[in-house]
Amino acid sequence: RQAVAERIAAERGLTIIPPFDDDRIIAGQGTVGLEIVEDRPDVAAVLVPIGGGGLAAGVAVAVKALRPSCRVIGVEPELAADARDSLARGEIVRWSAADVSRTIADGTRTQALGHRPYAHLRAHLDAVVTVSEAHIADAVRLGAVRSRLVVEPSGALTIAALVHQADALGLATLGGPVVAVVSGGNVDPQAYRSYLEAPALD
């Protein structure tokens, strides 16, 4: 994608707006964290999807600046868990395009975190959890059934973690509200139908 964007920009004299590895993008995404704390000053945990890391970085910086005690937890697919690996190793880990393309959460198919987001996540993120493809699909369905939201798989990552990993994350013991950032509704209609028609998971 990057190579194609650069070629088109060069041919047409256009400027590329980076999707995540840019200070201004991260700051803009941080307004999500700002609004969360303004609306719920007592927030105990925030779950945020991770792709290239811009959204997660912005949210983590803003939330930690305003409410340091709040846990900020990144969520990514098991099949595209480069952020988990990067934070565990202490350096940016790159996954192959073939590997990350396996997840239905296409917004997280970036092969590696951006350098700027990585630095912020390393400093401010409390944990990263991964969710299975089955749980992601179930979370898309739950968004529709329980909240009447059209949620893309990448945006449903946090729902998947909230529903299927709440006990493991100890969310019920935090003593305050837990916020799941649901980011986007760009989903293929046919795929969306298949998620809605799938049986509910326990």
The pLDDT tens digits of the residues spanning 24-80 come to: 999 999 999 999 999 999 999 999 999 999 999 999 999 999 999 999 999 999 999
The pLDDT, as a whole number, for residue 2 is 78
The H or E element containing residue 147 is helix 133-147
Q: What counts of helices (H) and strands (E) characterise the chain?
A: 10, 4
Quote the mean pLDDT of the chain.
95
Q: Assess whether pLDDT exceeds 90 at residue 138.
A: yes
Report, as an integer, the average pLDDT of 81-87: 98
pTM attached to this predicted model: 0.93
**pLDDT grade for 3, boundaries at 50, 70 and 90:** confident
The H or E element containing residue 39 is helix 23-39
